[in-house]
Amino acid sequence: MDSKLSKAGYDLALEIRDGKWRHVEDLQVKPASASSELLNELRRRVPGHSDQQYAQALADGLFNSR
For position 8, what pLDDT does the model report?
97
Which pLDDT value is given to residue 66?
86
| pLDDT bucket at 55, cuts 50 / 70 / 90 | very high
What is the reported pLDDT for 3? 95
Per-residue model confidence (pLDDT) at position 25:
82
Position 11 scores a pLDDT of 97
Give the pLDDT score at 29: 76
Average pLDDT over residues 20-24: 90
Dihedral of the alpha carbons of 14, 5, 50, 20, in degrees to the nearest 10: 20
Q: How far is the first Cα of the chain from the last one, in angstroms, to the nearest whole number?
A: 20
pTM of the model: 0.89
